[in-house]
C-alpha cells in the first residue's frame, strides 16, 4: 500500500515493511498502526522527528 509519503508492505506472515520519506515539515509526523490477532489487539506507533 502506498499513501503519499508512506509505503507499507507485508514481507511474510510475521513481518511487515514500513517506509516513510524524510520529514520536511516543522512538525513531528506520527504513524499509528493497529494490529489484531484473534482477541489480542496491539499496535505500532512511529514518530518521525522534525527536519
Which mean pLDDT values do the consecutive 10-residue runs of the chain (51 residues) have? 74 87 87 88 89 76
Ranges assigned E (strand) in 1-51: 2-3, 6-10, 16-20, 29-37, 40-48
The alpha carbon of residue 42 and the mean position of all alpha carbons in its chain are separated, in whole angstroms, by: 13
User: What's the domain range around 39?
Assistant: 23-51
Q: Output the pLDDT for position 42.
A: 92
Q: Output the pLDDT for position 1.
A: 53
Domain count, the chain: 1
In angstroms, the CA 12 to CA 47 distance is 24
Grid coordinates in use for 32?
A: 499509528
Q: Output the pLDDT for position 51.
A: 76
Q: How many residues does the chain have?
A: 51
Q: Output the pLDDT for position 39.
A: 92
Residue 29 belongs to a domain:
yes
Amino acid at each position: 500500500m502506498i499513501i503519499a509519503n508512506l509505503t507499507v508492505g507485508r514481507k511474510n506472515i510475521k513481518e511487515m515493511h514500513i517506509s516513510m520519506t524524510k520529514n520536511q515539515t516543522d512538525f513531528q509526523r506520527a504513524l499509528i498502526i493497529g494490529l489484531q490477532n484473534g482477541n489480542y489487539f496491539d499496535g505500532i506507533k512511529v514518530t518521525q522527528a522534525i527536519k
